[in-house]
Amino acid sequence: MNPIFSEMLKNIPAMQKKAEVNTLKPGQMVSGKVSVLYPNNQALIHIGSAKVHAQLETSLTKGERYLFLVKSTGDQIHLKVVSDPRTKENAITKPLGFQLSKHAEQLLNELFKKEIAFTSHQLQKAASLLEQAGNKAEAKQVLLEMFARKLPIHKPVFEALLKRSRISLSKQLNELSSSLDSKPLFTASDKRMSPLLSLLKGQDPLPFSEFIVQKFNTEINDHSTASFRLFQKAHIISDQYSFSAFQENVKWGETATPPNGTGRTPQLTLKDFPFGSQNPKQIAEKIIDLFTKQLPFSEQEQKVFTQWRTLLESLLKPSITSAKSSSIDLHTSQNQLMQLYQQLQEFHSFEKILPFFKGDDAILFKQAVERLPQVLSNEKSGAFQSGLFSLLEQLKAIDLQQVPKELKVPLAEWAGHAIHESQPGIDKHIFLVKMKTVMNLLGINHEALLKESGDSLENVSTVKSNLMQGLNDSASLIKPDAAKQLLHFLNGLQLTAHQETNQTIQMTMQFPGGLLEIADDIYVDIQGRKKRDKIDPDFCHVMFFLDLKSLKETVVDLKIMNRRVNLTVYNEDKRTAQAVEKHKESLHAGLDALGYTLSNVAIKSMSKASEKKARPGNQLNYGREGLDVRI
**Would you list the DSSP string of 345-391?**
HHHTHHHHHGGGS-HHHHHHHHHHHHHHHHHHH-TT-HHHHHTTHHH
Q: Which residue has the higher pLDDT, 234 or 9?
A: 234
- Report the percent of the chain where pLDDT is more than 90: 18
Instruction: Evaluate if residue 580 carries a pLDDT over 50.
Output: yes
The predicted-structure confidence for 92-122, as pLDDT tens digits, reads as follows 555 566 778 889 888 988 898 888 889 888 9
Task: Please give the backbone phi and psi of residue 542, each rounded to the nearest 5 degrees, phi first.
Answer: -140, 140
- C-alpha to C-alpha distance for 505 and 543, rounded to whole angstroms: 14
The pLDDT of residue 615 is above 50: no
Asked if the model's pLDDT at residue 260 lies above 80, the reply is no
The closest alpha carbon to 590, from 615, 547, 558, belongs to: 558
Q: Name the strand (E) or helix (H) holding 585.
A: helix 584-593
The helix (H) or strand (E) run that includes residue 543 is: strand 534-548
- For 111, 296, 309, 412, 517, the CA distances from 289, given in Å and listed in that order, are 49, 15, 21, 12, 23
Among the ranges given (100-114, 165-179, 322-336), the one the predictor scored with the smallest mean pLDDT: 322-336
Residue 263 pLDDT > 70, yes or no?
Answer: no
Strand partners, 601: 567
Mean pLDDT across the chain, nearest whole number? Answer: 80
d(CA 135, CA 151): 21
Highest mean pLDDT among 4-8, 80-84, 314-318: 80-84
Q: Which pTM value belongs to this model?
A: 0.71
Q: Is the pLDDT confidence value at 593 over 70? A: yes
Four-CA torsion 178, 183, 188, 192, nearest 10 degrees: 40
The length of the chain, given as a count of residues: 631
Residue 475 has pLDDT above 80, yes or no: yes
Q: pLDDT class for 1, splitting at 50, 70, 90?
A: low
User: Does position 165 have pLDDT exceeding 80, yes or no?
Assistant: no
- Per-residue pLDDT, averaged over 52-69, amounts to 81
In the chain, the amino acid numbered 73 is T
> pLDDT at position 86, please?
52
Burial (CB count <10 Å: 0-12, 13-18, 19+), residue 58: exposed
Average pLDDT for 71-92:
68
Q: Where residue 10 falls among pLDDT bands split at 50, 70, 90? A: low
φ/ψ (deg, to 5) at 158: -60, -45
CB neighbours (10 Å) of residue 533?
8
Using 50, 70 and 90 to split pLDDT, how confident is the model at 251? confident
Give the Cα separation of 196 and 441 in Å (integer): 7
Q: What is the pLDDT of residue 378?
A: 58
In this model, does residue 631 exceed pLDDT 60? no
- pLDDT, one tens digit per residue, over 526-552 is 989 988 778 888 999 998 888 888 888
How large a percentage of the chain has pLDDT more than 70? 80
| Residue 73: alpha-carbon gap to chain centroid | 34
Q: What pLDDT was estimated at residue 286? A: 94
Lowest mean pLDDT among 122-131, 156-165, 350-359, 612-621: 612-621
14: pLDDT strictly greater than 60: no
Nearest to 442 by CA among 159, 151, 172, 165: 172
Strand order in the sheet with 552-561: 498-500, 504-511, 522-531, 534-548, 552-561, 564-570, 597-604
Residue 511: partners with Cβ closer than 8 Å, 6 or more residues away:
169, 435, 438, 521, 522, 524
Task: Quote the pLDDT of residue 405.
Answer: 85
pLDDT score at 379: 52
135 versus 13: the higher-pLDDT residue is 135
Determine the Cα–Cα distance for residues 521 and 548; give it in Å rounded to an integer.
Answer: 10
Handedness of CA 343, 349, 354, 356 (dihedral sign): negative
Of 37-46, 381-390, 441-450, 556-565, least confident by mean pLDDT is 381-390
According to the model, what pLDDT value does residue 375 have?
Answer: 65
Say how far apart CA 48 and CA 65 lie, in whole Å.
12
In sign, the C-alpha dihedral spanning 130, 131, 136, 138 is negative
Contact 24, 117 (CB under 8 A): yes
Among 75, 78, 81, 77, which Cα is nearest to 60's? 81
> Predicted confidence band at 129 (pLDDT cuts at 50, 70, 90)?
very high
Using 50, 70 and 90 to split pLDDT, how confident is the model at 497? confident
How, if at all, do strands 65-72 and 28-38 pair?
Answer: antiparallel
225 with 407: CB under 8 angstroms? no
CA angle, 29 as apex, 23 and 31 as ends, to 5°?
95
Contacts of 14 (CB under 8 A, 6+ apart): 141, 144, 145, 148, 614
Query: Can you tell me the distance from the alpha carbon of 98 to that of 120, in angstroms, rounded to the nearest whole number?
Result: 9
For residue 316, pLDDT over 70 is answered with: yes
Mean pLDDT for 307-336 is 71
Weakest mean pLDDT among 89-98, 174-183, 218-227, 471-480: 89-98
pLDDT in tens, 365-411: 888 888 877 766 655 455 555 667 788 889 999 999 999 988 988 99
Name the residue type at position 115.
E
User: Which of the listed ranges 230-244, 417-431, 603-617 does the model predict with the highest average pLDDT?
Assistant: 230-244
pLDDT value at position 603? 92
Contact 478, 180 (CB under 8 A): yes
Could you give the CA distance from residue 44 to residue 536 in angstroms, rounded to a whole number? 31
